[in-house]
Chains A and B, each alone.
Chain A
Amino acid sequence: MPSFSPYDWNESIQQRNEYIEDRLREGSPVIALTYDAGLLMLTVRHNQRKLYEIYDKLMFGAIGNHSDIEQIRIGAIDVAHAEGFSRSADDVSLQRLASFRLSPAIKKIYSDPFAQPVVLKGIFAELGKTAEKDILLVLSYDGEFTITPGYAVIGGSVGSEDKMADLLKAATAETVPTLDDAVKLALKAWAIGKQHAESLNRPNDDEDETPPTPEEYLAEALKTGLVVEAAVLERNVTREGRYRSLRTEELSVK
């Protein structure tokens, strides 16, 4: 019978990370940020929808294998609805969902060398009573998660995530943007993040060429058939649902 040593474990984790990171590298960044009347989540994508409503005040966007994203999405929706129905919508919180349900389950799969890992990086956004109480949570394929107020980003590489985060940090330090400004900001962040990820993937490009500005890069991307997808959770609404996909005319892109 073959033995399994600590060395093998280390090795398998490393291979696992490489396998997952490799698959995430091409992922189109997802950006979430607070605006003056709610929470915005935005990405640029092909045909497959990428942003989802989870519960009354919860939304989700992710990069990775679609089947894995789907499983996490359904898992989160199931937990939220079972809890919201048997107790109250107020008992459905992102903190509980991530800490006690999603994170342990993903961690378990990640640490099992014989299980297919979850290829996913996702943002969960929870709308608070006020902007300061909004919660943005980035959940990773190893089950780890980080919570940030104000904004969150995911992209194909740590480098591109840092670039996007820098932009958002600077732009939201002083003020909470309007929806229109938040959309523009998120689009710029997307272009910066995607552009950076692309430059890493093709390091041998002609270095004399001036890289396009984020605006130019975005315009080019949209010409190739990519579309902007954006959704909001609105703080003050009279209708039943707070989640809403933004219409094309609200997206400040042609």
Chain B
Amino acid sequence: MTLSNARERAVSTGSLLDLLRDGPDAGRLPFPTPVRGTSERDIDTHSTTVIAVKYKDGVINVADRRATAGYTVMYDQAEKVLPLDDHTLISISGSFAKSVEVVRYLRHTFKYFERSQLQPMSQEGKLMELQRVIVNNVPAALQGIGAFIPVLSTFDPDTDQGRIYFYDALGGQFETAEYGAAGSGSGPIRGAFEYILRTKGPFRDMDRATALKETLTLLEIAADLDTATGGSSKHLPAAKYITAEGISDFSEDEIKAGLGRI
């Protein structure tokens, strides 16, 4: 293939999906075909509470580390805050398998576009790619397998501020001014977000340590109220932040301080 195919294709669209469909390894598409009439609702590994909040220099993402299937805890060290590129984090909830696959697909899609087209994919373009994946997943989600809902955070150099987007199951995208959360534990703590906003002021005015403390407290509340959300006693939650300089991990000490253990 390669050259002859490249000659036949003549132009590169920059779309990884086109490459996978028409390229050298067509037929090894990673996406499963939905099957009809499944009644098994608990074969999926699920998770989670993920939270994204703005703070004065960017965006913070935190997530618990539990993955469950039905009533079983599958894993206690799941990584649910994942980088898509140097300035974008995706925090995943729902089907763990599907989420990881989607993250892998998006990371490759962005890189493939940038390398082949010699310009990075625009912010809008990246958001559209993510929406499309969610929409394409709707049939599977309706059958009860592979539903996932992400929260996307990014640093926008044009406006010099962090931005957070959350989604519904049909791919609807909403930009939020202060915070976004997803996963089974996000519902019970929604009121707590509002309480913090009204009593302590907006997250986007907080410094990094304060905003981390608030989000970790929210995560701990979610773990108390939701069985699918893990607490911090065995493994520390995952916590990352994005600024104009890129993505950084919170250190273990910063997370412990945020949890009030130091």
Binding site for B on A (CB under 8 A): 49, 52-56, 71-72, 74-79, 81-86, 101-102, 105-106, 108-109, 118, 238-241
Q: What string of 1s and 0s marks CB contacts (under 8 Å) between B18-44 and chain A?
A: 011001110010100000000000000
Contact B3 A77, beta carbon cutoff 8 Å: no
B199 to chain A, nearest CB (A): 37
Contact A85 B3, beta carbon cutoff 8 Å: no
B residues 65-116 with Cβ under 8 Å of A?
Answer: 83, 85-86, 104-105, 108, 111-112, 115-116
Contact A85 B116, beta carbon cutoff 8 Å: no
Contact A105 B2, beta carbon cutoff 8 Å: yes
Total residues of chain B contacting the partner, CB 8 A: 29
Contact B108 A105, beta carbon cutoff 8 Å: no
Residues on B with beta carbons closer than 8 Å to the beta carbon of A241: 86, 111
Contact B6 A75, beta carbon cutoff 8 Å: yes
Query: In the complex, what distance in Å separates the CA atom of A238 from the CA atom of B5?
Result: 35
Which of A52, A56, A101, A240 has the largest number of chain B CB atoms within 10 A? A240
Query: In the complex, what distance in Å separates the CA atom of A82 from the CA atom of B2?
Result: 11
Q: Identify A239's interface contact among B6, B23, B86, CB under 8 A.
A: B86
Contact A240 B3, beta carbon cutoff 8 Å: no
Contact A49 B108, beta carbon cutoff 8 Å: no
Contact B115 A105, beta carbon cutoff 8 Å: no
Cβ-closest chain B residue relative to A109: B3
Binding site for A on B (CB under 8 A): 1-7, 9, 12, 16, 19-20, 23-25, 28, 30, 83, 85-86, 104-105, 108, 111-112, 115-116, 118, 246
Enumerate 10 A-B pairs (CB-CB under 8 Å) in ascending A order.
Answer: A71-B6, A72-B3, A75-B2, A76-B2, A77-B115, A78-B116, A82-B19, A85-B20, A101-B2, A108-B4
Contact B3 A102, beta carbon cutoff 8 Å: yes
Q: Identify B111's interface contact among A74, A76, A81, A101, CB under 8 A.
A: A81
Contact B108 A240, beta carbon cutoff 8 Å: no
Q: A71-B3, A101-B1, A102-B3 are in contact. Are A79 and B112 (CB under 8 A)?
A: no
Residues on B with beta carbons closer than 8 Å to the beta carbon of A72: 3, 6
Which of B3, B23, B111 has the largest number of chain A CB atoms within 10 A? B3
Query: In the complex, what distance in Å separates the CA atom of A79 from the CA atom of B20?
Result: 10
Contact A78 B30, beta carbon cutoff 8 Å: no
Contact B2 A102, beta carbon cutoff 8 Å: yes
Residues on B with beta carbons closer than 8 Å to the beta carbon of A105: 1-4
Cβ-closest chain B residue relative to A76: B2
Contact B116 A74, beta carbon cutoff 8 Å: yes
Q: Identify B3's interface contact among A81, A84, A86, A106, CB under 8 A.
A: A106
Query: In the complex, what distance in Å separates the CA atom of A183 from the CA atom of B62?
Result: 42
Q: Identify B104's interface contact among A81, A85, A108, A239, CB under 8 A.
A: A85
Q: Identify A81's interface contact among B5, B7, B19, CB under 8 A.
A: B19
Query: In the complex, what distance in Å separates the CA atom of A102 from the CA atom of B19?
Result: 17
Contact B6 A74, beta carbon cutoff 8 Å: yes
Cβ-closest chain B residue relative to A73: B116
